Amino acid sequence: KFLADKYEEDKGLLVEKLNSWGYRDARIISDSVQSIDDKHVNVYLDVYEGTKYYVRNITWVGNTVYSTDYLSALLGMHKGDVYNQKYLSKRLTEDDDAVGNAYWNNGYIFYNLEPAEVNVVGDSIDLEMRIFEGQQARISRVRINGNDRLYENVIRRELRTKPGDLFSREALQRSAREIASMGHFDPESVNPVPHPNYENGTVDIDW
C-alpha cells in the first residue's frame, strides 16, 4: 500500500543507506509518483550518488582521561575503511560499548564529542574527533515523582543511582529496567531525567 508519509520517510532512509556505503554526498535530485489506476502507482527516483569516500586519517583532540589508542580501538574505524557515517554515529554514541559510554559511565556527564571532516582529498577524508571531557559529576539529589502505590524506600532500594555516586548512564538504564520489571508501573512511564549542574560538578536525577 502506498502511504505518502512512509514514502517521505523511505526517501530519507534511501539517502541514509547510500551514506552508509560511503556516498557522503548522495541525494535525491527529483522524484515523482505516477498514478496508473485506482489501485496502483509507479514511483520514480532520480538519485545522485557522488563519490564513494574512504577514511584516511583519524586524529583525537582534547582527550586526557583515555588514551588515543584506547579510543581508536573503541571506535573501530581504520584507514582505508569505507566512510560509513551511520557506523560512525553508532560507535560514538549508540552502541553499549560506544566511545561516549566510556565517559558517561564514569561520571563524565558533561562530555561531548564532535567529529569534524578537516580534510577531503579526492575520495579520502581526514576526521578529527574533538572532545570536551569536562569534570566528573556526582549525584546530588534523587527525586521520585508520580508514585502513589509503593513506599518510596521500596523504589529507592532498586536504584543504582544514589546520592554521592558517580553519574553512570549504564546505572541509570539498569535502574529504569529494574523499576519497570517490578510490575507496579507502566514501563513506558519510567523515565529518569538527569539535571547536570556544571558549576558545582553535580547532577540531580528526577524519576
Q: What percent of the chain has pLDDT over 70?
A: 95
- Look-up of cell digits 574533538: 130
Half-sphere exposure for 74 (CA within 13 Å, toward CB): 23
pTM of the full structure: 0.81
Assess contact for 23 and 52: CB atoms under 8 A.
Answer: yes
Calculate mean pLDDT across residues 25-41. Answer: 95
φ, ψ of residue 48 to 5 degrees: the values are -105, 120
- In 3D space, the residue among 92, 174, 182, 184 whose CA is nearest the CA of residue 192 turns out to be 174
Express each pLDDT in 152-195 by its tens digit.
676 777 777 889 999 999 999 888 888 777 777 776 777 889 99
pLDDT at 12 over 80: yes
- In 3D space, the residue among 136, 81, 2, 134 whose CA is nearest the CA of residue 10 turns out to be 2
Parallel, antiparallel, or unpaired: how do β-strands 124-132 and 112-121 relate? antiparallel
pLDDT score recorded for residue 152:
63
Amino acid at 27: R
pLDDT score recorded for residue 149:
67
CA distance 146 to 115: 39
Assess contact for 77 and 91: CB atoms under 8 A.
Answer: yes
Assess contact for 7 and 16: CB atoms under 8 A.
Answer: no
CA distance 198 to 135: 8
Express each pLDDT in 111-128 by its tens digit.
999 999 999 999 999 999
CA distance 71 to 119: 21
Cβ neighbours of residue 86 closer than 8 Å, sequence gap 6 or more: 16, 19, 20
- Eight-state DSSP code of residue 91: I
Assess contact for 190 and 172: CB atoms under 8 A.
Answer: no
- In 3D space, the residue among 16, 21, 25 whose CA is nearest the CA of residue 49 turns out to be 25
Comparison of pLDDT for 51 and 180, the residue scoring more:
51
